[in-house]
Each structure stands twice: as structure tokens, then as C-alpha cells.
Amino acid sequence: MYWNPLPVIADNLKGVWEERNWRNTPGPFYGATTDNCWTGRLVAPQHVMYDDDHGREFIYRQPQNPDEVRRVLDAATDDPWEGYAADGDDYWTPTSVREWWADRGRLREWAIKLADKWSISEVHEEVEAANGALDLVAYLDNGMEAYLRGYVFWLAEGREPFVGEPLPEL
């Protein structure tokens, strides 16, 4: 799925692009100035992660099917600050996605350090979130590049690629 899956943007998706968390994986959904109550992983653990700056939520894996979209929307609904958004396709460009990917080492390093720190915490939520950080690293290492190549195709062509159609390099 490389399209904005929402025909009408939900009322609670009011995140501001300029305030988005740099850790968000390119795609339609992103977390900007979200709350710090750590509720997103309760409903969308394969998509939402928390930063260690302010405890804010961000999207580390874009949803790929209706059930995953629903989970991300549930996370957004639980955010009282209404800091999620789904208009990323209006802002990402093939160039900006490639720039984000070129800087992925920063995200990987951050996630590994966070997992090391939180995995030994006495706070249950931090230990659980450490697993999310490790999942983010695993996705960076295996899967994210293929997704981003398809997303760059979507941004450039305005459609999903046909089966066997070559995807752009990152």
C-alpha cells in the first residue's frame, strides 16, 4: 500500500508536518507533537514507537493493509493531543525519501542505544518498548528498503507498480 488510505481525514489527525518526529518512516502516516502517555504500542505495536526525548509517538512501519490502518488510526484516536497525521504523501518526495534513507544509520544507532537502555529498565513499559526498538532495527535491516523503493515509485508515478515492474533505487 503506497497510497493515502483515508478518503476523508479523521478529525483527530491534526499533526503538523513541520513538527513531525524525524524518526517517522516515510509514508502517509506520521507522529508529530503527540502525547507522551505511551498508548500507541498498546494497539499498534508493529507500527508505533516512542522517542526518548519526550516520550512522543512516531510511525516506524507504515500500515500495509486495512487492519493495520485501523490499528494506526486507533493509536491516533488514543492521542489526546491529536498529533498524528495522514497527509505525508503531500510532503514526501522521491528525493526526501532517499535523503531520509541515506541517514538511516542515525535511526539505527538511536534504536540500538534505546533498546540497550530500556531492556534493563524496571519499568515494564520501557522493557516492552525496547522490543519495539529492536523490531525497528530488524525492519531497517530487512524490509524497509523494499517498502521505500515501492513508496518512491508511488510518489513518482502516482500508482502502485505492476508485478515485475522495476522499482527505483534508493
* pLDDT tens-digit readout, 66-101: 899 999 999 999 888 889 999 999 999 999 999 999
Q: How confident is the model at residue 4 (pLDDT cuts 50, 70, 90)?
A: low
pLDDT at 8: 42
Residue 150, CA atoms < 13 Å, CB-side half-sphere = 16
Is the pLDDT assigned to residue 115 strictly greater than 70? yes
Angle at 149 (CA atoms; ends 109, 62), nearest 5 degrees: 65
Per DSSP, the three-state class of 30 is: strand
DSSP state of 24: P
- Helix or strand (DSSP H, E) at 88: none
- Helix or strand (DSSP H, E) at 85: strand 84-85
Residue 118, CA atoms < 13 Å, CB-side half-sphere = 22
Q: Kindly report the backbone phi and psi dihedral angles of residue 31, in degrees, each rounded to the nearest multiple of 5, phi listed first.
A: -100, 135
To the question of pTM greater than 0.85 for the whole model, the response is yes
Angle at 130 (CA atoms; ends 129, 132), nearest 5 degrees: 60
pLDDT at 12: 78
Q: How confident is the model at residue 55 (pLDDT cuts 50, 70, 90)?
A: confident
d(CA 145, CA 170) in angstroms, rounded, equals 8
Q: How confident is the model at residue 7 (pLDDT cuts 50, 70, 90)?
A: very low
Q: How confident is the model at residue 37 (pLDDT cuts 50, 70, 90)?
A: confident
